[in-house]
Amino acid sequence: MADPTSQYLYGIHDSNDWQYPGWEIRTEELGHDPAHTGGTDYRNARHSVIARLNNGYAPRGTIPLPQYYEAFAVRVQNFVKASRGCTVWIIGNEMNHGNEWPEGKPIYPADYARCYTFCLDRILSLPGHEQDQVLIGAVAPYNAQTIYPGNPTGDWAIYLRDILAACPRVGGIALHCYSSSQKANVIISDAKMGAPFGHLSSEFRCYRDFMEVIPARLWDVPIYITETNPGARGQPWRDENTGWVGAAYDEIAGWNEGHHGRTIRCLALYCMQRRGDGMWLDGKGNVKADFMQAVARGLTWTADPPVEPEPEPPEPEPVACRWDEARLKALVREAVREELARFVWAPVEMD
C-alpha cells in the first residue's frame, strides 16, 4: 500500500503503472441513494490516492439537484466508510461548467457550498476519518457559463471566491489549470484573456488566479492541482518531450518556495485512460520521458505553519485623575469671558 499522503508533487489522473513517488487521481460515480453502502478498496494503488466523488456524469450532474444534497451526503459517507486506502476526497468537479450541471440546472456557489458542507460533516463524523481531507471541487478555468448576481460575466475566479466565502469550513481545495500549447515556455507566460477577462491568465498560470482569491483564513488548507495538460484549446497530448512537463513542476515548486501559505501538494497530469477527449497519456513514451525527468529532480512540498493573525493591541489602562476644583472653576470663568468677548453689544431701540 502506498503512503496515503505523499510528500511528492508528482501525479497522474487515473490508475497507472508509471513508477514515481506521488499521487493518482481516481474518479467515482456514486449517485445519491442513501441506502447504497458500496465503496472501493484503493490499497493496491501504486501511489497515494485522491478520490473524486461525483453524483454522476453528464447529464446527471457532478452533484445532484438541491433537494437531494442530504441524500448525496449520506451516500458519500457510506462510500468513505466502506472504502480503504484513501484519506483525501474531492466533492464534485468543475461545478461552473454546464456539462457538470444536474439536468441542465446551474450550480451556484451557495448551492455547492451547502452540498459540500453536508458531505464534509458526514465524512468527518466517521470514526477514523476525523482527520481526512475533504476538498472543494475544482472550478473550470476559461469557462464563463455560470452567471449570477455579483458575477455577471461568469468569472471563474470569482466563482471560486464566492464558494469559499459561503462555506463555514473548508478542508482543502482542488484546482485545474491548462495551457494553450505543449511548448515549455508557455508555463511561465503571463498572457491574459480577452475582454472582459483581461485580468485573468490564458495559460498555465491560471492557477494563480485561483490562488489569489483564497482568503488568508484558508492559506493553511491543503491545495491540489488535480488536472493539468496543454489542451486548453482542445488539442491532445503530442507524443513529444518538449520539456513542458518539467517546466510545469518547476513552476509549482517555485510557487511553493516563494509564498507563505497556499502550498500546492500535487500537480496531476490529465489523464492516463483513453477517453473521448483525446487527452490520454497511455502509450506516449516521449511525454512519459519528460515526466520521469521531472521525477528525477525529487520535488516535494512542505506545509507552512498556520498563518497566525496579528495580535490585537492591548487596551490602555485607565489613568486615575484628581481635579482641583478651584482651578476648574477659574478655567470655566476664563472660557466664558473669552466667548462673550466675541460679541459686540449695542443698544436696541424699542418702539
What's the rounded Cα separation, in Å, for the pair 227 and 224?
9
Q: How far apart are CA 333 and CA 319, in angstroms?
A: 27
Which residue would you say has higher pLDDT here, 222 or 345?
Answer: 222
pLDDT per residue over 35-77, tens digit each?
999 999 999 999 999 999 999 999 999 999 999 999 999 999 9
Per-residue model confidence (pLDDT) at position 196: 97
Q: CA 60, 61, 67, 70 torsion: positive or negative?
A: positive
Q: Peptide bond before 206: cis, by omega within 30 degrees of 0?
A: no
Q: What is the pLDDT of residues 153-171, one digit of tens each?
A: 999 999 999 999 999 999 9
Q: Comparing 51-55, 117-121, 318-322, which segment has the lowest mean pLDDT? A: 318-322
Better pLDDT: 334 or 100: 100
User: Which of 98-102, 134-138, 256-260 has the least mean pLDDT?
Assistant: 256-260
Reported confidence tier of residue 346, pLDDT bands at 50, 70, 90: very low
**Cα–Cα distance measured from residue 212 to residue 208, given in angstroms and rounded to the nearest whole number:** 6
Helices of type H across 18-83: 69-82
Query: Taking residues 208-233, what's their average pLDDT?
Result: 97
- Cα–Cα nearest to 116, from 97, 138, 140: 138
**What values do phi and psi take at 121, rounded to 5?**
-60, -40
Q: Among 47, 51, 60, which Cα is nearest to 28's? A: 51
Domains of the chain: 10-295 (3.20.20)
Q: What is the pLDDT of residue 318?
A: 52
Q: Are 87 and 5 spatial neighbours (Cβ–Cβ below 8 Å)?
A: yes
State how far the Cα of 143 lies from the Cα of 14, in Å rounded to an integer.
24
Tell me: pLDDT of 341 over 60.
no
- pTM value? 0.86
